[in-house]
Amino acid sequence: MQFDRLTSEMRRLALRAGERIMEIYEADDFETRSKSDDSPVTAADEAADALISEGLRAAFPDIPLVTEEQAETHAQTLDTFLIVDPLDGTKEFIKRRGDFTVNIAYVEKGVPVRGVVYAPAKGRLFYTTADGRSVEETGPFGDQPGATRSIGVHATPDNRALMVVASKSHRDEATDAYIAKYGVKDMTSAGSSLKFCLVATGEADLYPRLGRTMEWDTAAGDAVLRGAGGEVVRFDDHTSLSYGKDGFENPFFIAYAPGVLLVKA
């Protein structure tokens, strides 16, 4: 894989998709319907998916592509592939809360090694560079990358003063019970893959997810967090979260800065 080209294309397509999403987001109204699993989908999801899919297939025709909006057409297991959630946080988009992202990742041998997470309504752009480090580009965003800053997880000395981030739309009693096992300094909430990025930048230390997610929800954020020195593990046995699983469904997981001492459920 030519990682320079991959980084450039993923960044470019994420920004273009973000522009299209914001055009729809800022309109007076937009259509929303339910998919077969009762999850919502909008014209923004579909427009961003079409744009990103066309671009990735043209640039990397030999690499399998998995996207949320075309999930029923995919092979059930893969080893190395591109994976896309064109609009992660559709519920946040519909509620006009801004916590939605464009996610594009490259998975190699089951590991998300490169990724981009763009939150167009918040003006935040995170991605892995060609050498695998994670950065936040500070904008303004143009055809060529602007100023960037290296990001890295918070060096947490112990479990007594953690910043925890949890889902806005999927917080439940089981999640709260698990968080209560730690010494928590403060908590914040965020939608979509931004939660991974908050851990990656050191704005949070721990993000547990005790709920259903799919690989396209997590791969890009996972890649950014890994490139910033963080880890994402299964909730049950604390082994590394892998990708290309049958059906692309994730188990419960924990994203964290390595200084955090994980507690067994």
Q: How many CB atoms lie within 10 A of CB 108?
A: 15
Task: Return all residues near 213 (Cβ < 8 A) that are at least 6 apart.
Answer: 249, 250, 253
pLDDT tens for residues 94-112?
888 889 999 999 999 999 9
Task: Return all residues near 87 (Cβ < 8 A) that are at least 6 apart.
Answer: 21, 42, 44, 45, 48, 49, 93, 100, 101, 102
Share of the chain above pLDDT 90, in %: 73
Query: In the chain, where does the domain assigned CATH 3.30.540.10 lie?
Result: 3-150
Question: Given this model, what pLDDT does residue 73 score?
Answer: 67
CA distance 92 to 20: 17
CATH topology of domain 3-150: Fructose-1,6-Bisphosphatase; Chain A, domain 1 (3.30.540)
pLDDT tens for residues 144-186?
999 999 999 988 667 778 999 987 666 788 999 999 999 999 9
Query: In the chain, where does the domain assigned CATH 3.40.190.80 lie?
Result: 162-256
CA distance 3 to 132: 9
Q: What CATH architecture does domain 162-256 belong to?
A: 3-Layer(aba) Sandwich (3.40)
pLDDT tens for residues 217-231?
999 999 999 999 999
Question: Given this model, what pLDDT does residue 93 score?
Answer: 87
Is 68 or 77 the better-scoring residue by pLDDT?
68
CA distance 4 to 110: 21
pLDDT tens for residues 112-148?
999 999 999 999 999 999 999 999 999 889 999 999 9
The mean predicted confidence, pLDDT, of the chain is: 91
Question: Given this model, what pLDDT does residue 264 score?
Answer: 84
